């Protein structure tokens, strides 16, 4: 099952990168189940709030993994439309262009096509999520001091994939009948980053109008 939040048997389970699983039986798995249950109630503002008595780092970690999986799946459905030819630069509309740097392997930002950029980005996120010192999966292993800043960078970058899909590939999303799925996923993402102030407003500018539209009904 690609995602219990949006299960519809027909949905392609094609993901862009392998899905990141949270180990069953772990506390993080319980938190994920809690998140899914509250999402089912339809109130996204409530669903993103830190459950009573829970650790903020752990809550952010679980949700970050979940957003990675969701975006992974959404982008997976439109990879045929996002090519070197169709998207020679990584953009979110005419005003916003992204250049890739990860600070370690690629220090100086490079201009590259959207599929290449998203491949770099998702591989980089995957490496962070798989790093036990950053995202400990074992109970009682503390999160590192820099956890929040890493999580913020991950979420800032994942946002860019949403922004690219909305600006450059919305037609295929509609053709594939993925529009409601994309909107629900993005709205959940936005409510989450707003609740904990995780992405700078300037970074959200490419989708500002959409954000206002999606969130105005749920003040």
Instruction: Please write the tens of the pLDDT for every residue from 171-189.
Output: 999 999 999 999 999 999 9
Rounded to an integer, what distance in angstroms lies between the CA atom of residue 190 and that of residue 37?
19
Long-range contact pairs involving 127-136 (C-beta distance under 8 Å, separation at least 24): 128/154, 129/20, 129/64, 129/65, 129/68, 129/154, 130/20, 135/61, 135/65
99 belongs to an annotated ligand binding site: no
169 belongs to an annotated ligand binding site: yes
87 belongs to an annotated ligand binding site: yes
The arrangement of secondary structure in 27-216, i.e. its CATH architecture, is Up-down Bundle (1.20)
Domain spans of the chain, in order of start: 27-216
Give me the residue label for tokens 């982008």.
75
Specify whether the CB–CB gap between 188 and 44 falls below 8 A: yes
82 belongs to an annotated ligand binding site: yes
The tens place of each residue's pLDDT in the chain, 219 residues long, gives 333 344 333 344 567 888 888 888 788 888 888 888 877 767 888 889 999 999 999 999 999 999 999 999 999 999 999 999 999 999 999 999 999 998 888 899 999 999 999 999 999 999 999 999 999 988 788 999 999 999 999 999 999 999 999 999 999 999 999 999 999 999 999 999 999 999 999 999 999 999 999 888 655
Rounded to an integer, what distance in angstroms lies between the CA atom of residue 90 and that of residue 184?
24
pTM value?
0.89
């Amino acid at each position: 099952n690609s995602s219990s939040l949006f299960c519809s048997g027909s949905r392609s389970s094609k993901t862009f990168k392998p899905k990141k699983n949270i180990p069953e039986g772990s506390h993080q798995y319980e938190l994920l189940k809690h998140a899914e249950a509250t999402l089912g109630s339809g109130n996204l503002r409530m669903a993103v709030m830190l459950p009573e008595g829970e650790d903020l780092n752990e809550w952010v970690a679980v949700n970050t993994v979940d957003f990675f999986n969701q975006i992974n799946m959404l982008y997976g459905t439109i990879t045929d439309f996002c090519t070197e030819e169709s998207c020679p630069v990584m953009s979110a509309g005419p005003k916003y262009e992204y250049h890739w740097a990860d600070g370690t392997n690629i220090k100086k930002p490079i201009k590259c096509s959207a599929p290449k950029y998203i491949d770099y980005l998702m591989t980089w996120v995957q490496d962070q999520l798989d790093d036990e010192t950053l995202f400990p999966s074992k109970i009682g292993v503390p999160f590192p001091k820099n956890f929040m800043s890493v999580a913020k960078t991950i979420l800032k970058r994942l946002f860019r994939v949403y922004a690219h899909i909305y600006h450059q590939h919305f037609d295929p999303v509609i053709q594939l009948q993925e529009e409601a799925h994309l909107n629900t996923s993005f709205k959940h993402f936005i409510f989450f980053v707003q609740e904990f102030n995780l992405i700078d407003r300037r970074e959200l500018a490419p989708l500002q109008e959409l954000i206002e539209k999606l969130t105005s009904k749920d003040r």
